[in-house]
Chains A and B, each alone.
Chain A
Amino acid sequence: MTDSKYFTTTKKGEIFELKAELNSDKKEKKKEAVKKVIASMTVGKDVSALFPDVVNCMQTDNLELKKLVYLYLMNYAKSQPDMAIMAVNTFVKDCEDPNPLIRALAVRTMGCIRVDKITEYLCEPLRKCLKDEDPYVRKTAAVCVAKLHDINAQLVEDQGFLDTLKDLISDSNPMVVANAVAALSEIAESHPSSNLLDLNPQSINKLLTALNECTEWGQIFILDCLANYTPKDDREAQSICERVTPRLSHANSAVVLSAVKVLMKFMEMLSKDLDYYGTLLKKLAPPLVTLLSAEPELQYVALRNINLIVQKRPEILKHEMKVFFVKYNDPIYVKLEKLDIMIRLASQANIAQVLAELKEYATEVDVDFVRKAVRAIGRCAIKVEQSAERCVSTLLDLIQTKVNYVVQEAIVVIKDIFRKYPNKYESVIATLCENLDSLDEPEARAAMIWIVGEYAERIDNADELLESFLEGFHDESTQVQLQLLTGIVKLFLKKPTETQELVQQVLSLATQDSDNPDLRDRGYIYWRLLSTDPVAAKEVVLAEKPLISEETDLIEPTLLDELICYIGTLASVYHKPPSAFVEGGRGVVHKSLPPRTASSESAESPETAPAGAPPGEQPDVIPAQGDLLGDLLNLDLGPPVSSPPLTTSSVQMGAVDLLGGGLDSLMGDEPEGIGGTNFVAPPTAAVPASLGAPIGSGLSDLFDLTSGVGTLSGSYVAPKAVWLPAMKAKGLEISGTFTRQVGSISMDLQLTNKALQVMTDFAIQFNRNSFGLAPAAPLQVHAPLSPNQTVEISLPLSTVGSVMKMEPLNNLQVAVKNNIDVFYFSTLYPLHILFVEDGKMDRQMFLATWKDIPNENEAQFQIRDCPLNAEAATSKLQSSNIFTVAKRNVEGQDMLYQSLKLTNGIWVLAELRVQPGNPSCTLSLKCRAPEVSQHVYQAYETILKN
């Protein structure tokens, strides 16, 4: 008497038989037939041909039969839209049924039928159900709005369902509230700009009340919604935290993790001195640890999140090291995550325990795990200096086991230890060399070669060792080849007399017999370096290397902060922001931790997006460009120190200078130095990109230039300044300026080719910037730019690009590409190019606005050495779109009241006081966005003085 009987088929043809049964007069037979149809559906059989017959069974008093038919409908309505219409009448009728269960069932099912034609019939019943007396029906209807929105968003808006849904947030029944929140969150997700979930202290209070009473799933929706709210100050943050903390004791781990997210985010706003802050830290540890005793799948997700939490606030779990110890029958994915967290928590206090564990793991069965454990020992050595010695001896013990993969991993990590603690552990090199023959993995071979090359002077037979690798040079993987090349060059520089032959051999192998461009290129560079200036070569190749640090494997802080906002989501599992894997950019809002407010210092809260940055409003193309460029700028070409790019830029610049200069002289002065080799410059030979920031600073004196020709027909135009010197850009020199003429902004560029080869394929991109400046057209250089040729280009700009607040506000980071490489520079644009033509404000309006803007937004500046009278100033400013609204004479001083508007709609009101005979004038600026005042002042100064 089980359902498996429904799976039996007859020879005649299943569909045929079912059809007959469905049309039977006997109720019971019908029901059995529908059950058979459903059974077929569960195993993926196509029974859509029975559509009309099944729908005919819909009109019934039997609830089970009705439910079964509904199940069928949901599956197949989409493939038979015309037939599905047949069902509409029954739905509409069921929505009026006295039994709330049937009303809810009908409205729920209707929403699942994703057929456009049906939706219009759905509206009326849905409207009724949203106001139904029974909360069960209301909560079902709330979800239905989300379903309908997914099918036809416009319809939902037109019908006013969104407002009804918002009203349901104040419903008396907590389940209805939870479902309304869930539905609104889902709708909001696809419309990030809409202000659907208008979170304010009142609505937050309602949510917090509902939180205590609704089901576990509803709690998750509410908590996730709360996490999007930014409290106005630390007191509000604390009071929300207090009301959320009890959720940490919930049996449902998803509730717990959502609560952790809210707390981690709002904690950011609390001062560390607060007693409550400490209490909260203590409360967070137990629930996180408890998650680790759940099923392995839950553990995995929890561990990925704990990994983030430990990086953000290590103090939470610092005493809980032991719970991350690995049990031998943990699934491998749990083992690997635990190991990672163990290293993050390792400190001087617990390192002995950790090492003992790691050593234990290194003898386990699972190869991947053993490898990672060995690597972890190395990471401990780098992280906890006091333990380095013990780690090294542990690694040596492991090498003695002679287990092949253990030895290889150990060598790879010992190389890193050498890099962290130079001249300390080299005594172990002899032991390492004994294992040379057993190394068969590229990474281990490369590491060994690096060690031999780096310490060539201490290894008597270094030349023999390296030579032995050279025999099979072409069979090696690229990383081994590159290391071998470098290693032998190092050896040669250290012991030039005995190894001349060897170095020639490797150079010719690399340059002539290899078709790997990386290898060939590196080979040539060494060759030229060595043949031009061996001393310089020594300085370059044997240069002191920066130490590696423990921080290398930490997540970059801004990304970490963003990920903390996504605790519990897929993003937290992959440690990537959702923007990295949600297609189309739709629905992606970058989240950031709230800034600390009130009394506490704000230095602790990194990277808060400017409040005004409108997310996701730009056309798709622009943000993608922005991202791309952001990527380029983040490319870490320097040492792997994961500090923000700016702080490392000096190091990087150093490297670039070294090369840029050296290379130029190599190629420019002595092209014959290439020797007899038939060297053709590869089409993209280049120097790595440098960050443009330091160059940009040279531009700050731009405004002091007093000469220059202002065009009368438009705003003042500064003379061109060199933005990118040829030295930094492989011979490409870029100078330029910004202009504004009849409403259009352009960037006037002058490109000069100071290299010896022809340049082609120019392209330009901007990084996101404060006012969304972006190229409105591609950079058009029509003919190739031959050496010593200069070309002038005017690049039209638009202001619809991605917006990101820059520091300083008018900073613009630019990337220019040509056939040689990509170059970066940054420049400051004068703000007046953003002053729009319709910036003249009506007098009344001016007066009202002036009064309306609070006095603390007023900024006052002195403009010195500007012997102009009021008329001259007015006309000069007018040509740059600063309009004089009114003029007054007070006690011999001329007061000019002026207005201007920026491209992004920000109004700036000004009062300019000019005194005849006094070369200084006073400028008072009022603006709702006071941060622009400084730049407006600079614009004034520039315009008036030119």
Chain B
Amino acid sequence: MIDRVGVFEAVNQAISWALRLRVLAAFSASSASVRRGPGAESLTGTGVGKMIHSLFLINCSGDIFLEKHWKSVVSQSVCDYFFEAQEKAADVENVPPVISTPHHYLISIYRDKLFFVSVIQTEVPPLFVIEFLHRVADTFQDYFGECSEAAIKDNVVIVYELLEEMLDNGFPLATESNILKELIKPPTILRSVVNSITGSSNVGDTLPTGQLSNIPWRRAGVKYTNNEAYFDVVEEIDAIIDKSGSTVFAEIQGVIDACIKLSGMPDLSLSFMNPRLLDDVSFHPCIRFKRWESERVLSFIPPDGNFRLISYRVSSQNLVAIPVYVKHSISFKENSSCGRFDITIGPKQNMGKTIEGITVTVHMPKVVLNMNLTTTQGSYTFDPVTKVLTWDVGKITPQKLPSLKGLVNLQSGAPKPEENPSLNIQFKIQQLAISGLKVNRLDMYGEKYKPFKGVKYVTKAGKFQVRT
């Protein structure tokens, strides 16, 4: 800004050396030179590949424990730029997802304490890469039960086979779990024993049936003895509540997760009592969009197994009920090394259901040394290193509201903290979709058997924050 002030002074403007030198430099620079922005470095314009050139998996202590190259080998040293950014970020979660280096871009995600760092050489949609990386992590989770360094190292060959199957020349090949599992069998203890005895392999040798059909997400020939279809309606409340208890922002993020174990090619229709609630929805590719547009019915041939059918958002303020309230008084005295802490939590709009699984997490200011608190319910811990206070409350019984109060010890001599900490609240309400969404009925066509059907509702706190 101050530069501009300078420019405004007519005289000063005239003699700004820096500016002039820049002009001259630009003028005399060789004409072949290419402009480079500070944030964006040059890519070698070889036009190679649509997206991921290489992938590095890095753990929290900064070890590269797996690398996969889809083109030529890129040296591990490219990750130094990532480490540099990581060092600057202080917190692992704050590492920027897109980093530019002199010849590459690094696009990364942080999942389950692991960094998935991809190396990009050409202009490529970053969301494409990020979505794909998440899909890779999902696949590991699906195959090995957890996405961890140990699991990946234990199954390194399968991991490699999977990565090769998921991406070809930068084009995603097979990312649907159903298809991948036909190509490469997930490891099981039994199978590895059998394999080592019989010498058979865990690679399927026929073309996955779904791969090219119009329903690539479903494999053919599915058979169950018990045919079941379960739906979980899970709603999370994201909210920011201000000091005085009024709602600054609130919305509901809902998903319907399905677990479908049905034989053959079932064609399902799911309808709602109040479909008008759903005006901002993302669909699984299996859903027939036109049918939804015209009739507000979810009509689909489901993938086999677990999958997310839809996700939706309800943001209209009056529809978002806030099930809990918090009374709080957190204060630090000037020129003294202590402060007071007092919070009480109670039910608000809970639709007559029990609120359970309540946990309150507070990131206390750095100058807090210790906390001496008493609680009427549950238990609390304070970690003096991370300064995180966790209060595990449990259920709320309206007769006796849980509270946590006591003294805060501050570092002596340090100035009193400027900021009051925000409270992060977790809770759960069973058998309730807080938006009021209700499934009406599920019909099945195309198959003759009678499936067993079930719907479960649950409401949880998402990013639920109370400012103090």
Q: Which of B17, B50, B123 contacts A571 (CB 8 A)?
A: B123
A-B contact count (CB 8 A): 411
B385 interface residue, CB < 8 Å from A?
no
Please give, as numbers and ranges, the residues of chain B lying within 8 Å of A35 by CB-CB distance: 157
Q: Mark B32-73, 1 if CB is under 8 A from A, else 0.
A: 111111011111111111100000000000001111111111
Q: Which of B70, B97, B155, B159 contacts A297 (CB 8 A)?
A: B97
Those of A576-616 within 8 Å (CB) of chain B: 576, 578-588
A686 interface residue, CB < 8 Å from B?
yes
Please give, as numbers and ranges, the residues of chain A lying within 8 Å of B295 by CB-CB distance: none
Considering the complex, give the chain A residue whose CB is closest to the CB of B464.
Answer: A327
A653 interface residue, CB < 8 Å from B?
no
Q: Which of B34, B65, B164, B189 contacts A584 (CB 8 A)?
A: B34
B26 interface residue, CB < 8 Å from A?
yes
Please give, as numbers and ranges, the residues of chain B lying within 8 Å of A323 by CB-CB distance: 249, 251, 315
- Chain A contributes a number of interface residues (CB within 8 A of B) equal to 172
A677 interface residue, CB < 8 Å from B?
no
Q: Are B282 and A568 within 8 A (Cβ)? A: no
Q: Are A331 and B205 within 8 A (Cβ)? A: no
Q: Mark B116-145, 1 if CB is under 8 A from A, else 0.
A: 000010111111101110100000000000
Q: Mark B97-122, 1 if CB is under 8 A from A, else 0.
A: 11010000100111000000000101
Q: Are B26 and A628 within 8 A (Cβ)? A: yes
Q: How near does chain A come to B114, taking the closest CB pair, in angstroms? A: 13
Q: Which of A3, A331, A443, A570 contacts B93 (CB 8 A)?
A: A331
Please give, as numbers and ranges, the residues of chain A lying within 8 Å of B366 by CB-CB distance: 365
Considering the complex, give the chain B residue whose CB is closest to the CB of A256.
Answer: B282
Q: Are B201 and A446 within 8 A (Cβ)? A: no
Q: Mark B1-31, 1 if CB is under 8 A from A, else 0.
A: 1111111111111111111110110111101
Q: Are B7 and A286 within 8 A (Cβ)? A: no
Q: Which of B108, B164, B465 contacts A67 (CB 8 A)?
A: B164
Select the stretch in B210-218, B325-333, B444-452 that faces chain A. B210-218
Q: Are B463 and A327 within 8 A (Cβ)? A: yes
Q: Are B124 and A624 within 8 A (Cβ)? A: no
Q: A150-B47, A249-B283, A415-B5 are in contact. Are A573 and B175 (CB under 8 A)?
A: no
Nearest 4 pairs of A and B residues by beta carbon:
A190-B47, A2-B154, A286-B280, A64-B201
Q: Are B19 and A688 within 8 A (Cβ)? A: yes
Considering the complex, give the chain A residue whose CB is closest to the CB of B253.
Answer: A293
A843 interface residue, CB < 8 Å from B?
no
Considering the complex, give the chain B residue whose CB is closest to the CB of A330.
Answer: B463
How far is it, in angstroms, between the C-alpha of A450 and the C-alpha of B283 when the chains are bound? Answer: 57
Output the residue of B1, B44, B109, B253 with the most chain A CB within 10 A: B1
Q: How near does chain A come to B434, taking the closest CB pair, in angstroms? A: 16
B199 interface residue, CB < 8 Å from A?
yes
Q: Are A570 and B158 within 8 A (Cβ)? A: no
Q: Which of B40, B94, B216 contacts A576 (CB 8 A)?
A: B40
Q: Are A213 and B214 within 8 A (Cβ)? A: yes
Please give, as numbers and ranges, the residues of chain B lying within 8 Å of A522 by CB-CB distance: 11-12, 15
Q: Identify 23 residue pairs between A and B in the complex whose beta-carbon atoms are under 8 Å apart, listed by A's number.
A: A3-B155, A38-B156, A41-B160, A67-B164, A99-B206, A112-B71, A136-B211, A182-B171, A217-B172, A246-B289, A253-B127, A289-B313, A364-B419, A365-B419, A552-B4, A571-B123, A581-B40, A582-B122, A586-B47, A632-B26, A639-B8, A688-B13, A689-B23
Please give, as numbers and ranges, the residues of chain A lying within 8 Å of B181 by CB-CB distance: none
Q: Which of A108, A136, A635 contacts B207 (CB 8 A)?
A: A136
Q: Are B98 and A290 within 8 A (Cβ)? A: no
Q: Are A580 and B23 within 8 A (Cβ)? A: no
Considering the complex, give the chain A residue whose CB is closest to the CB of B462.
Answer: A293
Interface range, B side: 35 or more
Select the stretch in A306-314, A538-546, A915-923 that faces chain B. A538-546
Q: Are A297 and B156 within 8 A (Cβ)? A: no
How far is it, in angstroms, between the C-alpha of A150 and the C-alpha of B134 when the chains are bound? Answer: 28
Q: A301-B130, A333-B96 are in contact. Are A655 and B125 (CB under 8 A)?
A: no
How far is it, in angstroms, between the C-alpha of A546 and the C-alpha of B33 when the chains are bound? Answer: 36
Q: Are A295 and B365 within 8 A (Cβ)? A: no
A425 interface residue, CB < 8 Å from B?
no
How far is it, in angstroms, between the C-alpha of A356 and the C-alpha of B244 when the chains are bound? Answer: 13
Q: Are B35 and A631 within 8 A (Cβ)? A: yes
B269 interface residue, CB < 8 Å from A?
no
Please give, as numbers and ranges, the residues of chain B lying within 8 Å of A627 by CB-CB distance: 35
Q: Which of A78, A364, A412 contacts B72 (CB 8 A)?
A: A78
How far is it, in angstroms, between the C-alpha of A518 and the C-alpha of B415 when the chains are bound? Answer: 42
A266 interface residue, CB < 8 Å from B?
no
Q: Are A401 and B418 within 8 A (Cβ)? A: yes
Q: Are A545 and B8 within 8 A (Cβ)? A: yes
Please give, as numbers and ranges, the residues of chain B lying within 8 Å of A548 by CB-CB distance: 4
Please give, as numbers and ranges, the residues of chain B lying within 8 Å of A31 by CB-CB distance: 201
How far is it, in angstroms, between the C-alpha of A661 and the C-alpha of B210 when the chains are bound? Answer: 79
Q: Are A582 and B20 within 8 A (Cβ)? A: no
Considering the complex, give the chain B residue whose CB is closest to the CB of A223.
Answer: B125
A363 interface residue, CB < 8 Å from B?
yes
Considering the complex, give the chain B residue whose CB is closest to the CB of A324.
Answer: B249
Please give, as numbers and ranges, the residues of chain A lying within 8 Å of B377 by CB-CB distance: none
Q: Are B39 and A582 within 8 A (Cβ)? A: no
How far is it, in angstroms, between the C-alpha of A7 and the C-alpha of B98 when the chains are bound? Answer: 32
How far is it, in angstroms, between the C-alpha of A571 and the C-alpha of B7 when the chains are bound? Answer: 30
A815 interface residue, CB < 8 Å from B?
yes
Q: How near does chain A come to B97, taking the closest CB pair, in angstroms? A: 4
Q: Are B212 and A135 within 8 A (Cβ)? A: yes
Q: Are B212 and A136 within 8 A (Cβ)? A: yes
Q: How near does chain B come to A482, taking the closest CB pair, in angstroms? A: 6
A535 interface residue, CB < 8 Å from B?
no
A229 interface residue, CB < 8 Å from B?
no
Q: Are A412 and B1 within 8 A (Cβ)? A: yes
Known pairs A190-B47, A552-B4 / 4 extra A-B pairs, C-beta < 8 Å:
A114-B71, A302-B127, A580-B40, A632-B23
